[in-house]
Amino acid sequence: MLQDEIVEEIHRIREEYSRSFNHDLKAIFADLLLEQAESGREIVSLSRKRGLTTRWSRRSRDIGRDAM
């Protein structure tokens, strides 16, 4: 199988990062939240908005009460 140097580097960096937190997901998540807060960039939520994603599916229960 072909080895991609970029993918291998990403795996190595990810493993080092995880090891630095003793593979503790809660600690990794807390660190990522801190980095996000310190970045100063606008945070956008990509969560599903009820009624918008199924508007054209003809399922009135997903469109919302105003369409009934």
Which one has a higher pLDDT value, 26 or 59? 26
Handedness of CA 40, 33, 46, 49 (dihedral sign): negative
What is the predicted pLDDT for the residue at 51?
61
Q: How many residues does the chain have?
A: 68
Of 39, 43, 63, residue with least CA distance to 51: 63
Quote the distance between the C-alpha of residue 16 and its chain's center: 20
Structure tokens at 41: 């960039």
- Which pTM does this prediction carry? 0.57
pLDDT digit string, tens, across residues 3-52: 899 999 999 999 999 999 999 999 999 999 999 999 988 888 777 766 65
Q: Nearest 5 degrees, angle CA 48-CA 54-CA 58?
A: 165
The domains of the chain are located at 5-67
